[in-house]
Amino acid sequence: MSINDLPVLSALRTKMQWHQERQRVLSENVSNSDTPNFRPRDLVEPKFDKSGAPTGSMRPLAMTVTSASHMTPSGAASSFDQNKNAGFETRPAGNAVNLEEEMMKSANNQMDYAAVTSLYSKSLHLLKTAIGKG
């Protein structure tokens, strides 16, 4: 069993990937804040069961890419669910991006990511202590 298979570490890693993916989605929203008819998107938060494995619709059936030249559908997240209900006000041009809201989300995302990375290094510390190197 490798270190990465430990339930705590794998759950934290999934959470870090989720934050990484969310940062990408938020950055897409902000950069398109003046594009007509652009709808902002967000990701659904991951849920974990008692053993630390992601549950629910976190593992959808992935489409199989049979050729390297195949395109992935635009905006399709790799493994996380999209929340289509993001954005509540639409400007006359059809753009529904609210910059303040996106900034709040980005700040939250960053703080949560910082918390997860701290937990990850603490868990590594625990491992070091366990093997007598801490």
Partner 1 sequence: MANDSSDFARSMAIATSGLRAQAGRMRVISENIANADSTSPTAGGDPYRRKVPTFSSALDRTLDAQVVTLGRIKPDQSNFRVKYEPSNPAADASGNVKYPNVNSVVETTDMRDAQRSYEANVNIISATRRMIQRTLDILKS
Q: Compute the least distance from the CB of residue 126 to partner 1, in Å.
A: 11
Q: Compute the least distance from the CB of residue 100 to partner 1, in Å.
A: 9
Closest to partner 1 by CB, 50 vs 100, is 100
Structural contact between residues 102 and 40, judged by C-beta atoms closer than 8 angstroms: yes
Residues that bind partner 1 (CB under 8 A): 16-17, 19-21, 23-24, 26-28, 30-36, 38, 71-72, 74-75, 78, 99, 102-103, 106-107, 109-110, 113-114, 117, 120-121, 124-125
Q: Compute the least distance from the CB of residue 17 to partner 1, in Å.
A: 8
Q: Compute the least distance from the CB of residue 53 to partner 1, in Å.
A: 21
Q: Pull the structure tokens for residue 115.
A: 């918390």
Neighbouring C-beta atoms of residue 95, cutoff 10 Å? 19
Ramachandran category for residue 109: left, alpha or beta (phi over 0 → left; psi -120 to 50 → alpha): alpha
SS3 content of the chain, % helix, strand, coil (to 5): 45, 5, 50
- Residue 74 identity: S
Reduced to 3 states (helix: H, G, I; strand: E, B; else coil), residue 65 is coil
